[in-house]
Amino acid sequence: MALLALPSTAPGATDFLWATGIEDTFISQPDRRTGRILDEYALTQHYAQWDADLALIAALGVPTARYGIPWYRVEPRPGEFDWAWSDRVLETLVNRHRIEPIIDLVHYGTPGWLEGSFLNPDYPARVAAYARAFAARYKGLCSWYTPLNEPRIHAWYAARLGWWPPYRRTWGDFARALVALSRGIVETQRAVREVEPDAVFVHVDATDLYHAEEEALAEETALRQEIVFCALDLALGRIGEAHPLYGWLRRHGISRETLEWFCRQETKPDIIGYNIYPMFSAKYVGRAAGGGVQVKIKACWTETFTALTRMYAQRYGLPVMCTETASNGPPWKRIRWIEETAQQVNRLRAEGVPVVGYTYWPLFSLVGWAYQRSRLPLENYLIDMGLWDLRPDPNRPDILLRQPTPAVEAYRKIVVAPVAPLGAPDAARAPGLA
């Protein structure tokens, strides 16, 4: 039962999707030093408070929400599925609240039984089997899918920083991780399409806009920028011999046959999703004290949001959707980000840039990933960048209350405001967004 029209049938489509989502990182393997896992649904108590949380989503008036499935919980053993929890949640979201979920099949992490995580040679087949089983069970209820969220960031934390399984730390491991994750995306889309031919696919990756601090670093900066697109370009079969990353991947151990395999596939998403945060998305390539390359993060604002939106639309020639964005800080700063990025969306659409959606993420505070590697209390890692803040109940400190901020009403007003039709310059200042 698809609730939404397909905004992706053509770049000129006029539908627009306002959305939100709940942070859903699922690193189920305990940290080797602290023993902690990083399941955001458990840490923010969404498993216990899911019914009320879905009501918060519905209260915003959004037609859709990105919603993650904890793969490690629904497939606790290879080929054995437990759908009890997801049955209740998805039925409520769709049939009670009439909200179309964009299903995050993998939002970081694999089940613990998959030794080596996504560098296990069976990973593409395993993730595709899980996706096929999900699509078969929920056909008619769910039809929008993100095969895997932020493959580049996943590869970075698991195969360059070594924080997550399989705990690797070299550029070669990072390249192999990107290839494995991208192959999983291809196989997942194929598996879902076999079950649900009319499924809509929203491929999602994190954005970065790189700047060189000196002319001598221009080539390195250009390489870093290309790596931002590597997973999407692989999944879409764009990395042939003329691609700027072809030689880089070959030098890091990726075979010619592997790259040719991607080029033979016909994996095309309906929408390109991009995630942008003003505290993370502007990167500056400079010199470290010892003379090596150092990448610095500097705060940015809507100029980076606008540049990245145009960049993704031009590069891929497909409709684009901002699938995650938020500002941290006090509610007034979050409201300013909502209002000013919404203005940019309006202007971009008026110019003809096919922006078809916007997601304020997360719905409420998330738990910083450093929590897993620490022994400090959870409250030390609550990051307030949502519409609601999480706070311990004064009478029951073991319960996290959802406290509304003024950003709730600000986003609700944006959701009901008119959005400029594509390619209509006179509508660039629609009421409510000007």
Q: pLDDT by residue (tens digit) across 120-152?
A: 999 999 999 999 999 999 999 999 999 999 999
Domain 17-427, CATH number (from 3.30.70.1520, 1.10.10.60, 3.20.20.80, 3.90.1150.10): 3.20.20.80
Bridge partners (DSSP) of residue 320 are 272, 355
**CB distance 415 to 339 below 8 Å:** no
SS3 at position 139: coil
Give dist(CA 206, CA 156) in Å, integer.
11
**What kind and span of H or E run contains 375?**
none
Strands 26-27 and 38-39: antiparallel
Amino acid at 111: P
Give dist(CA 392, CA 430) in Å, integer.
40
Structural domain spans, the chain: 17-427
Q: Which pair of tokens denotes residue 333? A: 């700063």
| Those residues with Cβ within 8 angstroms of residue 342's Cβ, 6 or more apart along the chain or in another chain | 358, 414, 417, 433
pLDDT given for residue 3 in this prediction? 62
State how far the alpha carbon of 407 is from the alpha carbons of 226, 313, 330, 331, 344, in Å: 35, 28, 10, 6, 18
Percent of residues, the chain, with pLDDT higher than 90:
91
Give dist(CA 130, CA 71) in Å, integer.
8
- With 0.85 as the threshold, say if the pTM is over it: yes
Residue with tokens 């997601």: 359
User: Does residue 426 carry a pLDDT above 80?
Assistant: no
User: Does residue 382 carry a pLDDT above 80?
Assistant: yes
User: Does residue 7 carry a pLDDT above 60?
Assistant: no
Give dist(CA 365, CA 22) in Å, integer.
9
For the segment 208-252, what is each residue's pLDDT rounded down to a tens digit? 999 999 999 999 999 999 999 999 999 999 999 999 999 999 999
Q: Which pair of tokens denotes residue 8? A: 């992706």
Cis status, amide bond into 431, omega within 30 of 0: no
Give dist(CA 347, CA 357) in Å, integer.
14
Of 59, 317, 103, residue with least CA distance to 201:
103
Residue with tokens 């929590």: 371
Of 2, 17, 5, 26, residue with least CA distance to 138:
2
Other C-beta atoms closer than 10 Å to the C-beta of 77 total 9
Kindly report the backbone phi and psi dihedral angles of residue 260, in degrees, each rounded to the nearest multiple of 5, phi listed first.
Answer: -65, -35
